[in-house]
Structure 1
């Protein structure tokens, strides 16, 4: 009986992001403790030479792409050099060739630009770092770009958002190959939470923060996060902040790009998502804990945001479901 193929080619290029490469290769390497057969990971560049990453560190490629005959999974890293890489006809052709041999084609962060240049994302939903999504959509109109999710799996093609989302996607791939328990053990070994569902937004109420010095907005966000089940109606929030409801709405729109009621709903949704994925609490308990008026209220919010009920969300793990992520000011990373 032939063992299943476990070969993985990670494609690097000048000014690739070293964290993209490290998150992927480290997770796959650690998986060898429980995954059988272990992944055979090769870092490849167009010429097989040293690759200088965007932070100035250099990685030694283990193979030249033209010398790699086939692979089970091809993963293209992101990085500030993604535009130049996507304009390198030789690199793009090698990615396209290897993709034809692969069971699975993957990009992390802006590596999606290279896949798009190779025509591998045409007609598919795909994501990338949210700050580059508009540019990807403009340049490649055949790609159905969705900047919301941290990763998307569309058939045999998977794409992820920036940096740490590459770890979430890699854990999801390990789960696909070797089961949820193996993915859990890898996450535990890396001292991280088990991968977030792909539908979790790249820009979250837990990571969005007001501009430095705006203590009013910061205090309101902290209050919402700490008291999702409390009275968070606009009138109550305005009274707490000692401002008018009109001023409250202006502040929320200025800092978060959404009115207070929508911000509160998004916090409650994100909390519910985390509890559905990480606890065994029943739906009613989660709805109450997260501040929904009842199970039906939470169900309506999930259907509106994810296209499925909370129960379906828990059972199906919607890595390919759309979200309605909001735009925020770019951050370094």
Structure 2
């Protein structure tokens, strides 16, 4: 009797295993990180895309944290420690790359490996994005030439002076041109991530995530 019952249970488990397909995320949203990165530039897209990836309609995407240096973790400007999934030296392939910012961008702009990785990724990625002064890295890689773009509020003139081929937009929270999205960063990073999500899916899906994270309570106006 026990043997028969055990066999029946094993048969049920086997059938369930066959009838329940396992979905593995095969698309990646890469978020660059480094010591001194501004926290909201990375936590905003991590939250937006983390929530979205738990929905059936976005389960083929997963956010991954990519370090500029070969390290298992980084510490943000505000003191948050964050584990990393990979680093640029491993040349991780992603479908979307989000480039954040720091109060001191010079070491990043002078890093040829980083600029090369950004430029290489742009050749195959569906979207490239930046928050705050991360746009300077996209500019250094030549990805903003001939495109409309923005940077941190108040830094537009610096971006224009540094990269004359860029059509810098002043007083704009988020700018979309082709497959490139740039934003002011900080809290606007949420707006930018939701806009990017709407481009990858639909306005309705982005609004669903916005409601889940209570972004809609931020203002009575829809900003994306």
Which string of whole-angstrom CA distances, capped at 9 and with x for unpartnered residues, describes residues 86-116 of structure 1? 1212211111111112111111111101111
SS at match of 2:120: helix
Q: Which residue of 1 aligns with 2:198?
A: 175
Q: 2:43 aligns with which of 10, 14, 22?
A: 22
Q: Which runs of 4+ in 1 moved over 6 A?
A: none
Deviation of residue 157 (structure 1)? 0.8
Task: Say whether the 8 Å CA contact 1:106–1:157 is kept in structure 2.
Answer: yes
Render the CA deviation track for 1:280-317: whole Å, top value 9, x for unaligned.
xxxxxxxxxxxxxxxxxxxxxxxxxxxxxxxxxxxxxx
| Pair 1:47-2:66 in alignment | no
Q: Identify the residue that residue 132 of structure 2 maps to in structure 1.
A: 109
Do residues 124 (structure 1) and 111 (structure 2) align?
Answer: no
Is it true that 1:184 corresponds to 2:207 in the alignment? yes
1:24, distance to aligned residue in structure 2 (A):
0.5
- Aligned pair partner of 2:84 in 61, 81, 84: 61
Tell me by how many angstroms 1:46 deviates. Answer: 2.2
Report the equivalent of 2:188. Answer: 165
> What TM-score comes out, normalization by structure 2 length?
0.80
Shift of 1:20: 0.8
Which ranges of structure 1 fall in alignment gaps of 5 or more residues? 197-270, 279-318, 320-333
Aligned 8 A contact 1:86 1:92 in 2:
yes
Please say which structure displays the higher CA radius of gyration: 1
Matching residue within 28, 37, 41 for 2:59 = 37
Q: Which residue, out of 86, 100, 103, partners 1:80?
A: 103
More helix by share: 1
RMSD over equivalenced CA pairs, Å: 2.4
1:70 Cα deviation from its structure 2 partner: 1.9
For the residues of structure 2 that align with 1:82 and 1:19, how far apart are their CA atoms? 16
CA distance in 2, matches of 1:123, 1:4: 34
Q: 1:307 maps to what in 2? A: none
In structure 2, the CA distance between the partners of 1:110 and 1:42, relative to structure 1 (3 Å rule), is: same
Alignment partners' CA distance in 2, 1:143 and 1:4: 35
Alpha-carbon distance, 1:22 to partner: 0.3
Tell me: higher relative CO, structure 1 or 2? Use CA pairs within 8 A at least 6 residues apart. 2
Q: Over residues 120-179 of structure 1, what are the superposed CA-to-partner deviations in whole Å (9 max), with x where a residue is unaligned? A: 111111001122211111111111111221101100111011211111111111112222
Change (3 A) 1:162 1:36: closer
